[in-house]
Amino acid sequence: MLTLKNISFHVEGEDKKLEIVDDVSLTLEDGKILVITGPNGGGKSTLARLIMGIEKPTSGQILFNGRDITGLSISERAKLGIGYAFQQPPRFKGMTVRELLTLAHGGNRMAECDCCSLLSKVGLCARDYIDREVDASLSGGEVKRIEIATLMARNLKLAIYDEPEAGIDLWSFSKLVESFRVISRQHNESVILISHQERIMQLADEMVIVSGGKIREQGSREEIFPKLFREVGSGEPACCMGNGGNCHE
Ligand SMILES: Nc1ncnc2c1ncn2[C@@H]1O[C@H](COP(=O)(O)OP(=O)(O)O)[C@@H](O)[C@H]1O
Ligand SMILES: [Mg+2]
């Protein structure tokens, strides 16, 4: 179980303190899927980076299965089974897709059919990609899918996918959505999906809307989903979704 207790992340701006994440508390139970949504710049990726340990909170506590992991490094958290697929993944010049998947899988060379099954989950044909380098010759969408596959290759307890829909065509997207569901169920893996996609939101056991660094809404999919598409009088989108993330009451 993941618990965030009053997590804040503040940075010094030019003339004032910027509250990128502001007093966020939430709980994610084992095997459940949490979808985080909200406007661009709202603080979603920062929240993911705080959970992964790429950033350290200014205040608050992160607990994972009852253990306080707030002070742990990225690699210590990775050893506990936490993984994060970046919104914009890095490239690995000189490393092939097979080598990258093998590394993610724990170092034992992976059979072609295992690579194939992983790559097909993200809509890539292994024959075309397995020996390609993860370098600038791959498109943004291809690197993104390969990174998602590396996370799926690991036996994680908590996987965080940051806007996995980016760069994925409609056909592959259906497969990907189904893969998230299956992996979470089969391995009892907790999954955090940061997404704007309705189809991904349909997977959620729990949903939160993050805007201006704060949780604006939190609850089950049934509770939150209708609020996302709620419109106010003039046809403008509801406040929490339409203000570009600068919603400070
Ligand atoms: N270390 C940082 N220093 C200054 N500003 C930051 C830092 N990290 C994030 N931000 C800013 O915080 C806001 C939230 O960013 P982010 O978490 O990437 O939002 P989202 O993923 O919801 O689009 C953005 O305006 C971003 O530029
Ligand atoms: Mg983001």
What is the Cα–Cα distance from 217 to 117, expressed in whole angstroms?
37
Q: What is the mean pLDDT of residues 6-22?
A: 93
What is the reported pLDDT for 241?
Answer: 47
Q: What is the mean pLDDT of residues 230-245?
A: 44
CA of 203 to the centre of ligand 1 (A): 26
pTM of this prediction? 0.89
What is the reported pLDDT for 88?
Answer: 87
Which bound ligand lies closest to the C-alpha atom of 47? 1
Is the pLDDT higher at 15 or at 26? 26
Nearest protein Cα to ligand 1, atom 11: 20
Q: What is the mean pLDDT of residues 162-185?
A: 87
CA of 195 to the centre of ligand 2 (A): 9
Q: Is the pLDDT of residue 242 over 80?
A: no
What percent of the chain stands above pLDDT 70?
92
Count the helices and strands in the chain (H runs, E runs): 10, 12
* Domains of the chain as residue ranges with CATH: 2-84+155-242 (3.40.50.300)
Share the mean pLDDT of the chain: 88
Burial of residue 147 (CB within 10 Å: 0-12, 13-18, 19+) is buried
What is the Cα–Cα distance from 51 to 74, expressed in whole angstroms?
9
